[in-house]
Amino acid sequence: MSWTDERIEQLRKLWEAGNTASQIAEELGGVSRNAVIGKAHRLGLQSRPSPVRSAGAASSAAPAAPAAAAPVAPAPVAAPVAPPAAPAPVAAPVRAAPAVAPTPAAPTPAAAKPADEPAPFDEDDADTETDTDAAPVRSTVREIETAISTMPVAAPQPVIRSVGPGGFLRQGPGDQQPPATPAPPRRLVPAKPSSDIAGKTGLLDLSDKICKWPIGHPGEPDFHFCGKPINPGFPYCLDHCSVAYQAQLPRRDRRPPPPLPFGGPRVR
């Protein structure tokens, strides 16, 4: 994987936003943490508070700003509650709640990028979670511990929502609980060619004007698509957008996505 202009730009943004090298590496994909750090330095990106900083104080770069000016890596969970009285107005909450411009206006491709891909087929989550995740769970525990230990005692957690480009409310990390559209219980039914989909939006009826949210599952006799008018710029209607798109979390804080029912986008 090479450093294309896009990737360099992405690296710059993420680096300046205060993401760690590991997070950036995962975000970009195809590169290691070291690659990211190396590249960042070659690009002359300003170094950030490093564990190893103190040793060679005078060695190279500027002695890294007086402590107060660098609120860079806030506690994962508690961060956005009290923005530090620091210069940069926007940069603070990056880690816990990615700064998403609340402008409902024209969604730029970048801003419109949802939290990864929408994942309509998610009623399998529970299974996946209990069955397959042994390792991720451990790191999650660690993170929770860290979060707790760094959390202000009994801080009231305000509900923070960011507004997606279409104007819908993104779900916060804490409130993904009730999926707005609970998928119907799965029934295994042998695929039958045509059946009782009369009046419903079938595969062949899809266009870029209507919501492509699947109702039911492929192979079921009444499998069809939502078909309502889309939320402009998105493949789904307003309702389904609010289900499909959630605020971006740092990768390490996410559960691995459920296996896709079809070939995924790309395996890394």
Partner DNA sequence: CCCTGATTCGC
Partner DNA sequence: GCGAATCAGG
**Residue ranges that bind DNA, judged by CB under 7 A:** 1-3, 20-23, 31-35, 37-42, 47-56, 59-61, 139
Q: Closest CB to DNA among 31 and 243? A: 31
Give the nearest distance from C-beta 21 to DNA in angstroms: 3
Count Cβ atoms within 10 A of the Cβ of residue 133 and give its class: 0-12 exposed, 13-18 middle, 19 or more buried: middle
Give the nearest distance from C-beta 254 to DNA in angstroms: 14
> C-alpha angle with apex 81: 255 to 46, nearest 5 degrees?
75
Give the nearest distance from C-beta 77 to DNA in angstroms: 16
Structure tokens at 146: 């860290």
266 Cβ contact list (under 8 Å, min separation 6): none
**E strand or H helix at 40:** helix 33-42
Q: Closest CB to DNA among 4 and 177? A: 4
Are 260 and 121 in contact, with CB atoms under 8 Å apart? yes
Q: Closest CB to DNA among 30 and 261? A: 30
Closest listed residue to residue 164, CA positions, set 209, 78, 98, 83: 98
Q: Closest CB to DNA among 1 and 106? A: 1
Q: Closest CB to DNA among 33 and 254? A: 33
Q: Closest CB to DNA among 47 and 181? A: 47
Give the nearest distance from C-beta 131 to DNA in angstroms: 23
The runs of H, that is alpha helices, within 64-150 are: 109-112, 125-132, 135-149
Give the nearest distance from C-beta 100 to DNA in angstroms: 22
Type of residue at 117: E
Region of residue 18 (left: phi > 0; alpha: psi -120 to 50; beta: else): left
Q: What whole-number distance in Å separates Cα of residue 133 and Cα of residue 242?
A: 27
Give the nearest distance from C-beta 20 to DNA in angstroms: 3
- For the chain, first and last CA: distance in Å? 12
Give the nearest distance from C-beta 144 to DNA in angstroms: 14
Count Cβ atoms within 10 A of the Cβ of residue 35 and give its class: 0-12 exposed, 13-18 middle, 19 or more buried: middle
Q: Closest CB to DNA among 37 and 115? A: 37
Structure tokens at 241: 């957008």
